[in-house]
């Protein structure tokens, strides 16, 4: 997590402009001077806090410190978003009155209503749906799927970001229950187990060890698992942290795939499971090597790919590696805020990632993007609850035309 100077400047301008606007309105309506001045105190505290965080977070190696910092952004959003909404509707009301030569205040009242609705939804998203884990079953029909894998069950989850949960081990109970009751053949974790530090995994091992599958548990690394989001005392310290993260993921019961592959056998048939390190996609450090991961595998055997970043699918898989019929990713968190009902699916994250949630298909190649378990930034989920996916492979029956 980083607080950029440009973000501090933007937040500061937003805070000051908003508070000055309300100060002028309060002065116009005769609000006492001391109360008008006190109105600036929260904003000043936020600005000073953001400046402090700018220079403290990058040097702080306590994951608990970082997880508690997120609540400052929760408070900021709760205080300033309703104010901004009211200002927007105030000027909408002003424009309406000018155009139609009226003196009404209807849009101001609407603004108050929107601010109230925002506050309710925001609080609900933070305190109720942020950990409302659910299991989604996704059937994928595959042409040419070996008979032995007809009905094969893959439990997929991603983006735990353990440090953000601040040792709330209890959240693992419903996750383990849902995964185990789905009777998976394999369990797949698609990256971002931590935010930065190996200490984030401490205490979680027994809970992950409860995950049960018939054929094994597999994992890959995500962009956060490399410790790239903090400033280390030395390159050696960063490398030691990274090596410990990999060891801890293995100790949780996962076979960690680092640009490599394994063979999956079921009822006399075989598929290849491929796992790559994090694909940068132009936004992050790129550690992936798909060609290395495929080296030595049977080029004619159907394959499943685990790759943290879904943009990897279009970049190196679709139309280029036809033997990879299914890719599984996470990373996007489905934007943590959005809507997915019926044909309507939207999240702001879709601007950056065309494939951001759910199932995608190009001819005979599929991509599934898991919404993730955890969060980054503000601990919130609105319309995009954290997800465990049960992918069920089905052999597609092709009708023979006469």
- Residues 306-362 have pLDDT tens digits of 999 999 999 999 999 999 999 999 999 999 999 988 889 999 999 999 999 999 999
Burial classification of residue 275, based on how many CB atoms lie within 10 Å of its CB (0-12 exposed, 13-18 middle, 19 or more buried): buried
Same domain, 140 and 245: yes
Under 8 Å between Cβ of 331 and 283: no
401 within some domain: no
- Whether residue 188 sits in one domain with residue 79: no
Task: Please indicate, yes or no, if residue 330 is contained in any of the structural domains.
Answer: yes
Q: Which residue range is the domain that position 382 belongs to?
A: 134-395
- Residue 402 falls inside a structural domain: no
pLDDT bin (cut points 50, 70, 90) of residue 3 is low
Contact 187, 155 (CB under 8 A): yes
- What's the whole-number average pLDDT of the chain? 93
Q: Are residues 238 and 382 in the same domain?
A: yes
Residue 400 lies in a domain: no
Q: Say if residue 219 is in the same domain as residue 346.
A: yes
pLDDT single digits (tens) 236-280: 999 999 999 999 999 999 999 999 999 999 999 999 999 999 999
pLDDT of 63 above 90: no
Residue 87 resides in a domain? yes
Identify whether residues 117 and 165 lie together within a single domain.
no
Residue 103: its pLDDT value, please?
86
Write the CA distances from 393 to 135, 149, 152, 183, 253, integer angstroms.
Answer: 16, 7, 5, 14, 24
Domain assignment of residue 256, yes or no: yes
> Domain boundary residue among 77, 94, 129?
129
Tokens at 110, concatenated? 């609407």
Number of domains making up the chain: 2
**87 and 196 fall within a common domain:** no
Pair 120, 215 in one domain: no
Dihedral over alpha carbons 171, 175, 180, 183 (to 10 degrees): 180
pLDDT at 2 over 70: no
Mean pLDDT, range 56-77, rounded to an integer = 81
Please give the pLDDT value at position 283: 80
The predicted pLDDT at position 92 comes to 95
Under the banding of pLDDT at 50, 70 and 90, the label for residue 225 is very high
Instruction: Considering only residues 284 and 329, tell me which one the structure prediction assigns the higher pLDDT.
Output: 329
Give the rounded percent of residues in the chain with a pLDDT score beyond 70: 97
Is 284 found in the same domain as 358? yes
Confidence at residue 400, expressed as pLDDT on a 0 to 100 scale: 47
Same domain, 161 and 98: no
The pLDDT, as a whole number, for residue 97 is 93
Are both 344 and 264 inside the same structural domain?
A: yes
| Domain end (from 101, 129, 157) | 129
CATH of the domain at 231: 3.60.21.10
Provide the pLDDT for residue 70.
85
Query: So what's the pLDDT on residue 401?
Result: 42
Residues 190 and 338 in one domain: yes
Domain identity same for 179 and 258 = yes
Report, as an integer, the average pLDDT of 112-127.
96
Give a yes or no: residue 98 inside a domain. Answer: yes
Give yes or no for a contact between 190 and 326, defined as CB atoms under 8 angstroms apart. no
Domain end residue (candidates: 81, 104, 129)? 129
* 216 occurs within a structural domain: yes
167-193 average pLDDT score: 97
């Amino acid at each position: 997590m980083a607080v950029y100077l440009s973000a501090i400047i933007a937040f500061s301008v937003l805070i000051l402009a908003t508070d000055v606007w309300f100060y002028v309105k309060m002065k116009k309506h005769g609000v006492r001077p001391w109360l008008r001045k006190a109105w600036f105190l929260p904003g000043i505290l936020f600005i000073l806090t953001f400046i402090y965080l700018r220079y403290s977070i990058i040097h702080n190696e306590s994951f608990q410190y970082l997880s508690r910092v997120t609540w400052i952004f929760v408070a900021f959003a709760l205080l300033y978003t309703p104010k901004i909404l009211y200002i927007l509707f105030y000027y909408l009301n002003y424009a309406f009155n000018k155009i139609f030569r009226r003196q009404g205040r209807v849009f101001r009242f609407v603004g108050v209503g929107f601010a109230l609705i925002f506050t309710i939804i925001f609080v609900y998203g933070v305190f109720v749906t942020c950990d409302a884990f659910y299991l989604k079953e996704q059937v994928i029909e595959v042409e040419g799927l070996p008979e032995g894998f007809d009905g094969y069950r893959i439990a997929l989850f991603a983006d735990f970001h353990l440090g953000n949960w601040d040792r709330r081990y209890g959240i693992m109970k419903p996750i383990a229950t849902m995964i185990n009751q789905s009777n998976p053949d394999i369990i797949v974790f698609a990256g971002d187990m931590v935010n930065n530090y190996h200490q984030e995994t401490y205490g979680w091992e027994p809970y992950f060890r409860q995950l049960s599958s018939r054929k094994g548990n597999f994992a890959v690394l995500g962009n956060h698992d490399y410790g790239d989001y903090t400033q280390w005392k030395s390159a050696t310290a960063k490398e030691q942290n990274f090596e410990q993260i990999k060891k801890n993921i293995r100790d949780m019961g996962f076979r960690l795939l680092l640009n490599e592959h394994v063979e999956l056998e079921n009822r006399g048939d075989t598929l290849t499971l491929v796992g790559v390190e994090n694909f940068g996609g132009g936004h992050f450090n790129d550690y992936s090597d798909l060609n290395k991961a495929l080296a030595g595998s049977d080029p004619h055997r159907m394959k499943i790919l685990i790759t943290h970043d879904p943009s990897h699918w279009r970049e190196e898989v679709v139309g280029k590696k036809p033997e990879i019929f299914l890719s599984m990713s996470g990373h996007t968190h489905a934007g943590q805020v959005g809507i997915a009902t019926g044909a309507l699916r939207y999240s702001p994250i879709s601007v950056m990632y065309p494939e951001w949630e759910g199932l995608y298909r190009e001819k005979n190649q599929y991509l599934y993007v898991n919404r993730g378990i955890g969060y980054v930034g503000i601990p919130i989920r609105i319309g995009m609850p954290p997800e465990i996916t049960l992918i069920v492979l089905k052999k597609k029956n092709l009708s023979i035309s006469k």
